[in-house]
Amino acid sequence: MKDLSRPAARQIKVLIVDDERLVAETLGDLLRGEGYETVIAVSGVQALDLAARERPSVVLLDVRLPDLDGFEVCRRIKNDPETQFLPVILVTGLSGAEQRVKGAEAGADDFITKPPDEQELLTRVKSLARIHDLHTELVSSNEQLKLLVEERSRQLEEATRELQKLLNEGTYFGPGLVPRQEPAEPRLPQRPAAGVESAPSEGDLKARREFRHTLLSRLSETMEGRADLTRTPETVSLLSQRLAAIYDASGLRLTGEARQQLFREILDDILGYGPIEPLLADPAVTEIMVNGPTRVFVERKGRLSKTEIQFDDDDHVLRVIDRIIRPLGRRVDRRSPMVDARLPDGSRVNVIIAPCAIDGPTITIRKFGERLRMPDLINYGALTQETSTWLEACVRSRVSILVAGGTGTGKTTFLNALSAFIPEDERIVTIEDSAELQLHQEHVVRTEARPPDVDVSGEVTIRQLVRNALRMRPDRIVVGEVRGGEALDMLQAMNTGHAGSLTTIHANSPRDSIARLETLVLMAGFDLPMKAIRGQIVSALNLIVQQARLRDGSRKVISITEVQGMEGDVVVLSDIFAFKEEGMEQGRVVGVLAPTGLRPKFEHKLELAGFSLPSTIYLPPQRQAQDRLRRGRAP
Ligand SMILES: Nc1ncnc2c1ncn2[C@@H]1O[C@H](COP(=O)(O)OP(=O)(O)OP(=O)(O)O)[C@@H](O)[C@H]1O
Ligand SMILES: [Mg+2]
């Protein structure tokens, strides 16, 4: 709040009107001494001119003036809309009762007798100036209010015009939107939430689509071509306001929920990823699969299910694809119909469209979330605590491990969980196609391959990154997945000072992993004899952790296999742990990942690293029970 009780210097301007300049000057000196600004007029005409031009806060007006008298000057000031609120203090003669009456008739605000008493003069000027200032403030805020009201009415008019246009086009209300029999509460057909069984009728969906589409395009037109809008509280609020105006003016009344859903859908189309936006926001959904506009699947808790979510048509899916890849400078068209991308939150996206996708544009999203850690995997029954402890000893002892499995079996997740066992004091370099690993050690350098630009230049491959990593003095190299010639470089790294490096491979069994590694090594382009390749594999690699998705949808470690060596031309593999299935219970596979009884040949490596694990760790469950009995302990 402004302090108006004391005048600030040059803040309050007083117009002093007196035919005797000396008198005016004396009063001026007095007021200036108190911090006021002053202007002097010696005639009535001059007074009127200065009152209009100088915008004073108060006028001290002598009655006797050479041209117009004080009453006339006062009257004119009060009659002029420009100055009508300017306070006038009339300076009257000692016996001026009659003058005061005339002054009051002319509109004077106050009187003071001549010669004025200093204190009285200051008090009067101060109080009137204060009233004047308050008044000025009021006027200015009124002015702002007026502008605001004008702006709102303009928006309303615009919205009404929009609506009129829509109504004229006759496309606004689709069939079934405003049932004639129920004029009180027309309902828009509702799109059911994901997972709801009852499907809406085709007519309902069409009507909803048309309605939404029309609103959407009207709204887009008012966005001055800004297609790059991002979801900030400001844009959401701005668009909601515009949408609300268009909607309100429509006269259509939906139930609160239907209206909100409609708004949400439109905002999702403009600011987000359209119909799949709610799935992206749902933490329970781990994967989203759009197979053309009408078949959208999700994975929740490892189980696939179809949702009721639908896109309007192929173009609608393509628009969402465009929103995903455009910010990355990528593009997808008939000539390059496939693209890998990532959402800003790190979620992995693959897109494939016509002519290669036959049933419509297809989007696959592996959502990014906090990666499951080893305790979570144990909790989920993917492996046992004992196996995890043993694997920890292996990782810390620099046993080189390959995590194998089919698509989406949890390879990357397991690699990530294993990497957490790498000691803090080691330098780790990670290499990935698209960064998915979340290592919590401090000394980690993360690198990522780069696809070629549109002009096919600028590609950086995993292989180049592996080679480069070797020059970065790593203690361990963690490669997201080997799928090309980098397999050879990786094996060589494991053989030459970077033992304990970790990677994954797409393979359905340990034996399959070896075969695939052989193929990948050949892809490196060296004409190596198969025996030499196998020799490399066997000496580099110690363990294969096999992941699988069981028929109940659960992801588990189904074997941990040692790569023992060569017998003739054959690579010898031996399971140290294997998953034993014991049947099904309530749709779930029951079983346990148990030791097979075989001890790994690299056991000495663990001992050298200081791990003296009890030998019972390798005993199969039955033998462990016998062992406990023999030692006299309860099972
Ligand atoms: N043991 C598990 N239990 C439950 N969910 C798991 C388990 N392991 C992984 N997941 C989940 O399964 C999904 C796929 O996991 P991940 O990305 O690790 O698989 P992947 O084999 O690397 O797949 P891709 O072959 O596509 O690279 C993720 O959402 C992950 O959180
Ligand atoms: Mg993976």
Nearest ligand for residue 410 CA: 1
**What is residue 196's predicted lDDT score, i.e. its pLDDT?**
38
The predicted model gives 167-181 an average pLDDT of 41
Residue 229 belongs to a domain: yes
Residue 428 pLDDT more than 60? yes
Greater confidence, 176 or 503? 503
The predicted model gives 401-428 an average pLDDT of 95
For residues 28 and 73, the answer to whether their CB atoms sit within 8 Å is: no
Pocket of ligand 1 contains residue 408 by CB under 6 Å = yes
| Amino acid sitting at position 62 | D
The predicted model gives 344-358 an average pLDDT of 91
Residue 9 pLDDT more than 70? no
Do 487 and 618 lie in one domain? The reply is yes
> Any idea what DSSP says for residue 178?
S
Greater confidence, 416 or 169? 416
Residue 168 pLDDT more than 70? no
DSSP 504-568: EEE-SSHHHHHHHHHHHHHHT-----HHHHHHHHHHH--EEEEEEE-TTS-EEEEEEEEEEEEET
Residue 446 pLDDT more than 50? yes
Do 386 and 321 lie in one domain? The reply is no
Residue 59 belongs to a domain: yes
CA of 224 to the centre of ligand 2 (A): 42
Pocket of ligand 1 contains residue 406 by CB under 6 Å = no
CA of 590 to the centre of ligand 1 (A): 20
Pocket of ligand 1 contains residue 405 by CB under 6 Å = yes
Residue range(s) defining the domain that contains residue 117:
13-140
The predicted model gives 595-608 an average pLDDT of 93
Residue 587 belongs to a domain: yes
> Which CATH number characterizes residue 44's domain?
3.40.50.2300
**Residue 242 pLDDT class (50, 70, 90 cuts):** confident
Residue 328 belongs to a domain: yes
Residue 180 pLDDT more than 60? no
CA of 388 to the centre of ligand 1 (A): 18
Residue 10 pLDDT more than 50? no
Which of 479, 513, 547, 555 gets mutated to test ligand 1 (max ligand atoms within 8 A of its CB)?
Answer: 555
Dist CA 185 CA 457 (whole Å):
60
CA of 302 to the centre of ligand 1 (A): 9
The predicted model gives 504-514 an average pLDDT of 97
Residue 158 belongs to a domain: no
Domains: count for the chain:
4
Nearest alpha carbon to residue 35 among 55, 5, 61, 60: 5
**What is residue 160's predicted lDDT score, i.e. its pLDDT?**
72
Do 291 and 400 lie in one domain? The reply is no
Residue 152 belongs to a domain: no
Do 290 and 261 lie in one domain? The reply is no
Cβ contacts of residue 175 below 8 Å, gap of 6+? 203, 207
**Residue 95 pLDDT class (50, 70, 90 cuts):** low
Give pLDDT tens digits for 520-564.
999 988 888 898 999 999 999 999 999 999 988 899 999 999 999
> Which CATH number characterizes residue 548's domain?
3.40.50.300
Question: Range with the lowest mean pLDDT among 34-43, 93-102, 481-490?
Answer: 93-102
**What is residue 222's predicted lDDT score, i.e. its pLDDT?**
67
Pocket of ligand 1 contains residue 480 by CB under 6 Å = no
Q: Which helix (H) or strand (E) holds 207?
A: helix 202-221
**What is residue 4's predicted lDDT score, i.e. its pLDDT?**
41
Domain boundary among 140, 162, 181: 140
Mean pLDDT of the chain: 84
Dist CA 599 CA 132 (whole Å):
98
Residue 135 belongs to a domain: yes
Nearest alpha carbon to residue 353 among 307, 310, 291: 291
**What is residue 223's predicted lDDT score, i.e. its pLDDT?**
65
Give pLDDT tens digits for 293-323.
999 999 987 788 999 999 988 999 998 999 8
Atom nearest to 436 CA in ligand 1:
17
**What is residue 184's predicted lDDT score, i.e. its pLDDT?**
34
Residue 604 pLDDT more than 60? yes
For residues 571 and 537, the answer to whether their CB atoms sit within 8 Å is: yes
Token readout for 622 is 């039955």
DSSP 274-324: GGGHHHHH-TTEEEEEEESTT-EEEEETTEEEE-S---SSHHHHHHHHHHH
Pocket of ligand 1 contains residue 348 by CB under 6 Å = no
Cβ contacts of residue 205 below 8 Å, gap of 6+? 189, 191, 310
Nearest alpha carbon to residue 560 among 513, 614, 492, 607: 513
Do 506 and 407 lie in one domain? The reply is yes
Which of 347, 376, 413 gets mutated to test ligand 1 (max ligand atoms within 8 A of its CB)?
Answer: 413
Do 120 and 179 lie in one domain? The reply is no
**Residue 208 pLDDT class (50, 70, 90 cuts):** low
Pocket of ligand 1 contains residue 510 by CB under 6 Å = no
CA distances 600 to 390, 399, 419, 573, 576, Å, are: 11, 11, 21, 10, 7
Residue nearest to atom 15 of ligand 1 (CA): 410
Which of 364, 367, 388, 412 gets mutated to test ligand 1 (max ligand atoms within 8 A of its CB)?
Answer: 412
Domain boundary among 345, 369, 393: 369
Do 384 and 364 lie in one domain? The reply is no
Atom nearest to 415 CA in ligand 1:
18
**What is residue 144's predicted lDDT score, i.e. its pLDDT?**
81
For residues 462 and 449, the answer to whether their CB atoms sit within 8 Å is: yes
DSSP 454-478: TTS---B-HHHHHHHHHTT--SEEE
The predicted model gives 143-161 an average pLDDT of 79
**What is residue 5's predicted lDDT score, i.e. its pLDDT?**
44
For residues 605 and 399, the answer to whether their CB atoms sit within 8 Å is: yes
Cα angle 553, 556, 559; round to 5? 135
Residue 169 pLDDT more than 60? no
> Which CATH number characterizes residue 347's domain?
3.30.450.370
Residue nearest to atom 4 of ligand 1 (CA): 555
**What is residue 518's predicted lDDT score, i.e. its pLDDT?**
94
Greater confidence, 156 or 428? 428
Residue 360 pLDDT more than 90? yes
CA of 346 to the centre of ligand 1 (A): 15
Residue 460 pLDDT more than 90? yes
User: Phi, psi at residue 585, to the nearest 5°?
Assistant: -140, 120
DSSP 34-103: TT-EEEEESSHHHHHHHHHHS--SEEEEES--SSS-HHHHHHHHHHSTTTTT--EEEEE-TT-HHHHHHH
Do 483 and 505 lie in one domain? The reply is yes
CA of 411 to the centre of ligand 2 (A): 5
For residues 340 and 349, the answer to whether their CB atoms sit within 8 Å is: yes
Cβ contacts of residue 526 below 8 Å, gap of 6+? 488
Residue 273 pLDDT more than 50? yes
Residue nearest to atom 25 of ligand 1 (CA): 407
Residue 191 pLDDT more than 80? no
Pocket of ligand 1 contains residue 284 by CB under 6 Å = no
**What is residue 550's predicted lDDT score, i.e. its pLDDT?**
92
For residues 462 and 434, the answer to whether their CB atoms sit within 8 Å is: no
Do 521 and 548 lie in one domain? The reply is yes
Residue 514 pLDDT more than 80? yes
Residue 175 pLDDT more than 50? no
Nearest alpha carbon to residue 216 among 321, 319, 351: 319
Do 339 and 467 lie in one domain? The reply is no
Pocket of ligand 1 contains residue 346 by CB under 6 Å = no
Greater confidence, 605 or 134? 605
CA distances 163 to 55, 166, 247, Å, are: 47, 5, 9
Do 258 and 383 lie in one domain? The reply is no
Residue 161 belongs to a domain: no
Do 579 and 553 lie in one domain? The reply is yes
**Residue 128 pLDDT class (50, 70, 90 cuts):** confident
CA of 94 to the centre of ligand 2 (A): 101
Q: Ranked by mean pLDDT, which of 149-158, 172-181, 183-192, 490-499 comes out on top? A: 490-499
CA of 253 to the centre of ligand 1 (A): 46
Domain boundary among 238, 271, 304: 271
**Residue 247 pLDDT class (50, 70, 90 cuts):** confident
**What is residue 194's predicted lDDT score, i.e. its pLDDT?**
42
Atom nearest to 372 CA in ligand 1:
31
Residue nearest to atom 29 of ligand 1 (CA): 286
Dist CA 88 CA 17 (whole Å):
11
Atom nearest to 299 CA in ligand 1:
29
**What is residue 635's predicted lDDT score, i.e. its pLDDT?**
47
The predicted model gives 243-257 an average pLDDT of 76
Supply the angle between the helices 118-169 and 202-221 in degrees, to the nearest 10. Answer: 140
Residue nearest to atom 2 of ligand 1 (CA): 555
